[in-house]
Amino acid sequence: MKLVALGSNLPHPEYGSPQAVLEQVIACLPDYDIKLVQQSRWYATKPVPVSDQPDFVNGVIEVAYDGTADALLSTLHEIEARFGRVRGVINAARIIDLDLIDFDNQTSEAGTGGPVLPHPRMHERRFVLRPLCDFAPDWQHPKLAQTAAELLQGLPSADEGDTVALSE
């Protein structure tokens, strides 16, 4: 599976609300030879780490893509730029955030010249795991050998209210 996490907590001047931004991002994927395979529901989530910035809207998608993991990550960065993402302060509020979570169970470390796979903090993030469990609860982390559902269940229950489905 090729998995991408999406997030937004700032409106876009043309597209509007964070959820509308994410829907426009999904609509533009064919422009980049990326096909949507599956999509989670949208979730309202608290910022991580906790801050006074607006809540995020998050989701996860599975995509079909014929290129490499490195090419897909570069394409995701192009899409972020198209929608006005400005990279600067880490964990700052942003119009769009696209993270490559998994690429066909490949594993790679920092310093190898490509993306770190799977995403190094995905297993700690309810805002990734909860949406992923909408369509792939049995997806298995290639390094930890646990399913998405098992990883989600292992997160602190105190955080459960920080990720709320926006629709059924």
pLDDT bucket at 145, cuts 50 / 70 / 90: very high
How far apart (Å, rounded) are the C-alpha atoms in residues 66 and 80? 20
Write b or e for each residue in 49-77: b if 16 or more Cβ atoms lie within 10 A of its Cβ, otherwise e.
eeeeeeebbbbbbbbebeeebeebbebbe
88 DSSP 8-state letter: -
Model confidence at 113, in pLDDT bands (50, 70, 90)?
confident
- Which amino acid would we find at residue 4? V
Mean pLDDT across the chain: 90
Instruction: Give the predicted TM-score (pTM) of the model.
Output: 0.92
pLDDT score recorded for residue 5: 97
CATH 3.30.70.560 matches 2-165: yes
Mean pLDDT on 10-26? 95
Write the pLDDT tens digit of every residue in 31-82: 999 999 999 999 998 877 656 788 899 999 999 999 999 999 999 999 999 9
